[in-house]
Amino acid sequence: MVFGRYNRTLILLVLLLAITSLCIFWVYFTFHAWITTFNLCIMWVLLVSILIYQVNRVNRNLARFFQAMRNQDSSLGYTRENVDPVFRELYEQMDLVFKDLGKLKNEKDRGFNFFSAIFNNADVGLLVYDEQGKIIMLNRTAESLIGITKSSGLQNLNQQGTHLMETIRSVYPGERVLLKIDRNDELVQLSVRSRMIILPDRKLNLISLQNIRQELEQNEAESWQKLIRVLVHEITNSVSPITLTASGIILMMESQENPGKDKVKEIVSGLYAIRKRSKGMASFVESYRQLAKIPEPNFSFVEVQQLFDNLERLMKDELIKKGIDLRVKIAPREISLWCDEQLVEQILINLLRNAEEALADVNDATIMLSCVYIQDAVLMTMTDNGKGIKSDLIGSIFIPFFTTKEEGSGIGLSISRQLMNLHKGRISVQSKPGKTIFSLYFPLKNPGHNSTA
């Protein structure tokens, strides 16, 4: 058994207390010495206090230990030099705990510094705020884009004369909103996204802000180039025959003052050709007008089951005539969309018409129309078992006026994409021989959510 200073001190104090107690009784009952008895009583109280202090020594050290643990203070430590053997093992274990705490704290600090470096140096502006509008975290990119600091709060955005605060607070989780603001006399086009972070004691909102002006300008330039190439191609195809035919008629008229019956027939035939090409040009211009004139959506909550039922009734006779089996699947059946019913119906009709043409001369022609929930969106898909889209053409099918059909205008899918953009959604396609899938993604909305966010 270890018999250290602590144990010796306790034994000594107990012996002194016993001796002092005996002395008190002996002096009081033998000599009736009141002053000596009083002094011995004071000594007895002092010895008891010292004994209690020594007994509580372990409690004091443990209290300091747990307080340091609670404050995550690993600097306390316990030296092993001149330590009473009774407490040596206890202090060694406490010292090891402090060293482990120091390692964990250093790892935590390194992890936080790593996270802070990534957070602050991200090219995307990141903003975290609570339900009261207090900014919890804000990186340098966000400060530069919207001109506020962490201490200023979201309310400072209103002082800049922008609608950014209302936009940020009204963006539904998973939704993306495009916003234009003026920063330092420069137009900034922001893509604003929202995510909700649920903690045990509160809810936080994570907002990402990305300046997409350069990307938009690049995409706009590429779109204009593609559109111009299509326009030049279509106009050239129409103008060249008209020019050649008109030149031929002029030469014919100039070469003969009184053209015969056959020549007159040739002239009339040429004029008919010119009229036909002119009508083709007019039809092309009308298609362009339809593409440029997209109606404003009128949003409401629409039951998908009702939408699909209306589509089936509308297309039933046409599909039966062409021998196409339309199958519908909705899970759950109560799915509803925040959308313009007429515009979404137009999208589905465009896709159905494309599927019908792809299913020409296909045995067991089938179209599967389905709708399910996925994470932050409603996914609607239309699948057909047609011949598919060639891999080298699939990237061009949404370009205005691009078509592989002799009678097609090439604007149906382009209009469908624009209509999906109006719904803050997107349209995509996957295709291989025997299977083509068009996917429509609609962001989720709760009843009463502001549609103008």
Q: Looking at the structure, tell me whether residues 422 and 313 fall in a common domain.
A: yes
Q: Looking at the structure, tell me whether residues 184 and 147 fall in a common domain.
A: yes
Range of the domain at 226: 216-292
Q: Residue 453: inside a domain, yes or no? A: no
CATH number at residue 172: 3.30.450.20
The pLDDT, as a whole number, for residue 453 is 32
Q: Looking at the structure, tell me whether residues 129 and 74 fall in a common domain.
A: no
Task: Tell me whether residue 388 is exposed, middle or buried, using C-beta atoms within 10 angstroms of its C-beta: 0 to 12, 13 to 18, 19 or more.
Answer: middle
Q: Residue 116: inside a domain, yes or no? A: no
Of 47, 76, 107, the residue that ends a domain is 107
Type of residue at 54? Q
pTM: 0.48
Of 211, 245, 270, the residue that ends a domain is 211
Q: Looking at the structure, tell me whether residues 70 and 128 fall in a common domain.
A: no
The H or E element containing residue 371 is strand 366-374
Of 257, 292, 327, the residue that ends a domain is 292
Q: Residue 114: inside a domain, yes or no? A: no
Number of domains in the chain: 4
Q: Residue 452: inside a domain, yes or no? A: no
Q: Looking at the structure, tell me whether residues 285 and 341 fall in a common domain.
A: no
Q: Looking at the structure, tell me whether residues 427 and 413 fall in a common domain.
A: yes
Q: Looking at the structure, tell me whether residues 197 and 231 fall in a common domain.
A: no
CATH number at residue 321: 3.30.565.10
The pLDDT, as a whole number, for residue 332 is 86
First to last CA, the chain: 77
Please give the structure tokens belonging to residue 216: 């938009």
Q: Looking at the structure, tell me whether residues 272 and 318 fall in a common domain.
A: no
Q: Residue 147: inside a domain, yes or no? A: yes
Q: Looking at the structure, tell me whether residues 137 and 203 fall in a common domain.
A: yes
The pLDDT, as a whole number, for residue 223 is 67
Contact, 169 vs 452, CB < 8 A?
no
DSSP string across 236-292: HHHHHHHHHHHHHHHHHHHH-SS--HHHHHHHHHHHHHHHHHHHHHHHHHHHHHHHH
Please give the structure tokens belonging to residue 151: 């201490």
Q: Residue 183: inside a domain, yes or no? A: yes
Q: Residue 167: inside a domain, yes or no? A: yes
Q: Residue 115: inside a domain, yes or no? A: no
Closest CA to 391 of 431, 334, 421, 336: 431
Q: Looking at the structure, tell me whether residues 237 and 279 fall in a common domain.
A: yes
Q: Looking at the structure, tell me whether residues 338 and 410 fall in a common domain.
A: yes
Q: Looking at the structure, tell me whether residues 85 and 14 fall in a common domain.
A: yes
Contact, 209 vs 127, CB < 8 A?
yes
**Local mean pLDDT, 10-residue blocks, the chain (453 residues):** 67 88 86 84 89 79 77 64 66 78 84 86 86 83 77 63 68 75 69 84 85 72 67 65 68 62 67 67 61 75 91 87 91 89 89 88 90 88 90 76 59 82 88 91 63 35
